[in-house]
């Protein structure tokens, strides 16, 4: 990734040790005025001393970033020998009181927000070890903890971008910190990544849509312009323009909204979500997702590799994971948006999309024995408004593995739906998050968990949880992955097992009143995960090997385990993450069901308008 060259900049000058960076900037009034210009391109977020005054304002056409006036700090980073003396920092906020001011400076990545310095030694349980490792993965920006590194594997020869803070990877870290009562790192993560949202990045002269959140960012220490003896810290985001395969991270903004809502619910502090810049950030993400396009479907149309599976895996189009996160983010945003004059249209569009999206997924993505049999007997080439086989699915598409995989009791949401194509693979994250967000109905949610129990040997086996089932092999693998040597059958994204998925499994099973499913999975994970050094993923059908190219000490494996443990110990906290279907949605959904030709064929149809 190219080093940042220009941007918002904070010189690191001589400082008073007592005035280290603190979140007091969040209440400060001086502001840094910043407008986009061509020089912003290719730039990272930097701290500068330039000062302006004004209101926090954040819109596609005019960006003003708030900043504390010359707050100064002496930073000490966990991974550098040299102790840079730095002045502080850009800052994203107003209206927040923080206790960071009173905290000691972080040393060796082990600061907790209550000021305790955790010991890296003397661990007495897997959980203690996990906490130590999680704290060691914390990344600091001008002295503030703002995220966690993707992997902290000391023996890895090629770091690639695993030394960055990934938005999606930080979600379980953030939730673990929230559940532990350590809120500051989550708030700062939310606010700093918000600042990166609007950053203009280009790939070959093309910029992604405003509102896109980066996949990851890195804190870089670079020489100070005009003074080589000094350094400054820079936040450098990657929107996919440096990522392998140049994949756009569609899930980042959706996860950001979900974490923001969890932060408010867990802390009771809604002042962050109510901030003008945060409200604008939410709206920018929504506008990007709700923008009109060529689609006939209410699902979000994306390219391959736009989510956790960030490589070519045949998930372009309307993959379930993105739809579940999209639905979840819409529900969370609806809860957080403050009503104001200009937002009525957006809220109306959001509500309409929620109804259409849930109908589409529940009706057309759902698969169980009954539905397979229906597809098996489909008529094709039905040109009409009341076609049953709307997407013209040819029954020959039903793969042979599916007949064995589908239990008599249970079902799941398929991976993707396109004209004449159903991707019958089971994708875990999409199914689990459909339960968590109530995108799936109550019956469907139970049926998904029934399937998990019935197919334990396939989906969990020796290590939870298969990212997808089954793997693509042979010619299919060659064509669909492009002969990707990392995604060979039963490895990595192609049927590998990812311990991080434990946390989503836990939230889903607690929501459905079936925590014993997660307990059993956690127990299994505990047999190996710490001994194996917290791998990123496992290989083989039964997850028996540590993944071929898996990183060790992968942060979201560690954090996923911690979230699962914390939630099982305190199941009511799962409410910070779950959403229940409200009566408006339920009513609108019933209207659509009764108007659906598939259900009413042969009966007189009544077309019912439904505007929520």
> In angstroms, rounded to a whole number, what is the distance separating the alpha carbons of residues 443 and 435?
10
CB of 248 to ligand GLC, least distance (A): 13
Continuous segment of H or E residues that includes residue 176: helix 167-179
Closer to ligand GLC at the Cβ: 249 or 281? 249
Using the minimum distance from each CB to ligand GLC, give the nearer residue, 410 or 560: 560
Output the smallest distance, CB 310 to ligand GLC, in A.
Answer: 5
DSSP string, 186-250: HHHHHHHHHHHHT----BTTB-PPTTPPPSEEEEEEEEETTEEEEEEEEEEEESSSSSGGG---H
> What CA dihedral angle connects 100, 105, 108 and 111, to 10 degrees?
-30
Number of residues that bind ligand GLC (CB under 6 A): 6
Residue choice 25, 34, 63, 166 for contact with ligand GLC (CB under 6 A): 166
Binding segment (CB under 6 A) for ligand GLC, from list 162-170, 192-200, 203-211, 410-418: 162-170
Q: How far apart are CA 327 and CA 417, in angstroms?
A: 16
In this complex, which beta carbon is closest to ligand GLC, that of residue 170 or of residue 359? Answer: 170
**In the complex, what is the shortest distance from the CB of residue 391 to ligand GLC, in angstroms, rounded to a whole number?**
29
Output 300 or 422, the one with its CB closest to ligand GLC: 300
Helix (H, G, I), strand (E, B) or coil at 39: helix
Phi, psi (deg, nearest 5) at residue 537: -160, 165
Burial 355-364 (b: 16+ CB within 10 A, else e): bbbbbbbbeb
Of 89-97, 163-171, 226-234, 586-594, the window that binds ligand GLC (rule: CB under 6 A) is 163-171
As measured in angstroms, the least distance from the Cβ of 296 to ligand GLC is 29
Q: How far is the CB of 161 from ligand GLC (least distance, A)?
A: 7
169 binds ligand GLC (CB under 6 A): yes
Cβ proximity to ligand GLC: between 182 and 310 the closer is 310
Select the residue interacting with ligand GLC from 47, 150, 332, 460 (CB under 6 A): 150
**Which stretches of 9-83 are assigned E, i.e. beta strand?**
45-46, 57-59, 62-64, 72-74
Q: Of the candidates 139, 143, 199, which has an alpha carbon nearest to the alpha carbon of residue 169?
A: 139
Query: What is the closest distance, in whole angstroms, from the C-beta atom of residue 403 to ligand GLC in the complex?
Result: 30
Least separation in angstroms between CB 162 and ligand GLC:
6
CB of residue 554 to ligand GLC, shortest distance in Å: 6
Strand pairing partners for 165?
A: 217
> Which residue number, 126 or 151, has a Cβ lying nearer to ligand GLC?
151
Contact in structure between 228 and 68 (CB atoms under 8 Å): no
Question: Would you say 87 or 193 has its CB closer to ligand GLC?
Answer: 193
- Cβ-closest position to ligand GLC: 150
What span, in angstroms and rounded, lies between the C-alpha atoms of 128 and 541?
30
* Spatial separation of the C-alpha atoms in residues 127 and 352, rounded to whole Å: 44
DSSP line for 237-287: EESSSSSGGG---HHHHHHHHHHHHHHHHHH---HHHHSHHHHHHHHHHHH
Q: Any contact of residue 239 with ligand GLC (CB under 6 A)? A: no
CB of 547 vs ligand GLC, minimal distance in Å: 11
DSSP 8-state assignment for residue 299: S
Kindly state the smallest distance separating residue 150's Cβ from ligand GLC, in Å: 4
Q: Between 166 and 327, name the residue whose CB sits nearer to ligand GLC.
A: 166
Neighbour-count burial of 525, counting CB atoms closer than 10 A to its CB (0-12 exposed, 13-18 middle, 19+ buried): buried
Segment contacting ligand GLC (CB under 6 A): 59-67, 164-172, 338-346, 414-422? Answer: 164-172
- Per-residue contact flags (x/-) with ligand GLC for residues 282 to 311, judged by CB under 6 A: --------------------------x-x-
Which positions ≥6 away from 451 have C-beta within 8 Å?
A: 406, 407, 410, 411, 412, 426
Q: Which is nearer to ligand GLC, 143 or 495 (CB)?
A: 495
The gap between the terminal CA atoms of the chain, to the nearest Å, is: 45
Q: How many residues does the chain have?
A: 612
- Shortest spacing between CB 46 and ligand GLC, in angstroms: 24
User: Smallest gap, in angstroms, from Cβ of residue 425 to ligand GLC?
Assistant: 16
Task: Return all residues near 491 (Cβ < 8 A) that are at least 6 apart.
Answer: 471, 537, 539, 547, 548
Give the separation between CA 583 and CA 566, rounded to whole angstroms: 31
Q: Which is nearer to ligand GLC, 233 or 310 (CB)?
A: 310
β 227-238/45-46 pair status:
antiparallel
One of 67, 72, 74, 168 touching ligand GLC (CB under 6 A)? 168
In angstroms, what is the minimal distance from the CB of 250 to ligand GLC? 12
By C-beta, is 239 or 405 nearer to ligand GLC?
239
Q: Which stretch binds ligand GLC (CB under 6 A): 80-88, 166-174, 226-234, 314-322?
A: 166-174
Integer Rg of the chain from CA: 24
Binding segment for ligand GLC (CB under 6 A), chosen from 64-72, 165-173, 409-417, 444-452, is: 165-173
Residue 262 interacts with ligand GLC (CB under 6 A): yes or no? no
Q: Tell me how far apart the alpha carbons of residues 568 and 565 are, in angstroms, rounded to a whole number.
A: 5
Q: How far is the CB of 255 from ligand GLC (least distance, A)?
A: 10
Where does this chain bind ligand GLC (CB under 6 A)?
150, 166, 168-169, 308, 310
């Amino acid at each position: 990734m190219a080093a940042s060259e220009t941007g918002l900049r904070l010189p690191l000058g001589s400082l008073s040790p007592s005035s280290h960076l603190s979140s007091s900037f969040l209440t400060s009034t001086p502001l840094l005025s910043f407008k986009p210009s061509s020089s912003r391109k290719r730039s990272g977020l930097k701290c500068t001393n330039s000062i302006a005054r004004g209101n926090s304002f954040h819109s596609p056409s005019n960006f003003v970033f708030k900043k504390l006036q010359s707050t100064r700090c002496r930073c000490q980073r966990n991974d550098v020998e040299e102790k840079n003396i730095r002045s502080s920092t850009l800052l994203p906020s107003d209206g927040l009181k923080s206790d960071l001011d009173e905290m000691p400076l972080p040393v060796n990545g082990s600061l907790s927000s209550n000021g305790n310095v955790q010991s890296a030694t003397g661990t007495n349980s897997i959980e203690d070890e996990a906490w130590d490792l999680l704290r060691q993965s914390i990344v600091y920006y001008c002295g503030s903890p703002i995220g966690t590194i993707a992997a902290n594997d000391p023996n890895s020869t090629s770091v690639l971008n695993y030394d960055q803070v990934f938005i999606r990877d930080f979600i379980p870290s953030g939730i673990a910190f929230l559940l532990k009562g350590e809120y500051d790192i989550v708030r700062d993560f939310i606010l700093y990544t918000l600042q990166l949202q609007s950053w203009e990045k280009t790939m070959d002269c093309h910029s992604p849509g405003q509102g896109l959140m980066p996949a990851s960012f890195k804190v870089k220490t670079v020489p100070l312009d005009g003074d080589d003896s000094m350094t400054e810290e820079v936040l450098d985001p990657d929107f996919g323009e440096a990522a392998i395969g140049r994949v756009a991270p569609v899930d980042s903004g959706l996860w950001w909204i979900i974490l923001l809502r969890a932060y408010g619910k867990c802390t009771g502090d809604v002042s962050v979500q109510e901030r003008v810049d945060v409200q604008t950030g939410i709206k920018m993400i929504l506008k990007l997702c709700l923008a009109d396009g060529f689609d006939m479907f209410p699902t979000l149309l994306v390219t391959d590799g736009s989510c956790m599976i960030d490589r070519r895996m045949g998930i372009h189009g309307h993959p379930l994971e993105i739809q579940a996160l999209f639905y979840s983010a819409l529900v969370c945003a609806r809860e957080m948006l403050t009503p104001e004059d200009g937002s009525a249209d957006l809220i109306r569009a959001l509500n309409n999309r929620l109804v259409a999206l849930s109908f589409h997924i529940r009706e057309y993505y759902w698969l169980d024995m009954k539905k397979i049999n229906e597809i098996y007997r489909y008529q094709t080439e039905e040109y009409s408004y009341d076609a049953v086989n709307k997407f013209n699915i040819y029954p020959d598409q039903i793969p042979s593995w599916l007949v064995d995989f589908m239990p008599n009791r249970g079902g799941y949401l398929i991976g993707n739906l396109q004209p004449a194509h159903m991707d019958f693979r089971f994708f875990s994250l999409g199914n689990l998050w459909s339960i968590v967000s109530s995108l799936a109905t109550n019956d469907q949610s139970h049926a998904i968990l029934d399937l998990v129990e019935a197919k334990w040997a396939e989906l969990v086996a020796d290590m939870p949880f298969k990212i997808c089932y089954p793997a693509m092999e042979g010619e299919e693998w060659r064509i669909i992955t492009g002969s990707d040597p990392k995604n060979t059958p039963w490895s990595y994204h192609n049927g590998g097992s990812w311990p991080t998925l434990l946390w989503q499994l836990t939230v889903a099973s607690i929501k459905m009143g079936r925590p014993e499913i997660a307990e059993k999975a956690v127990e299994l994970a505990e047999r190996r995960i710490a001994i194996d050094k917290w791998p990123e993923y496992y290989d083989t059908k039964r997850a028996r090997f540590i993944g071929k190219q898996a990183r060790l000490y992968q942060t979201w494996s560690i954090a996923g385990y911690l979230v699962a443990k914390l939630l099982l110990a305190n199941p009511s906290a799962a409410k910070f993450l779950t959403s229940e279907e409200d009566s408006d949605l339920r009513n609108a959904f019933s209207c659509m069901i009764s108007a659906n030709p598939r259900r009413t064929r042969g009966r007189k149809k009544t077309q019912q308008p439904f505007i929520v």
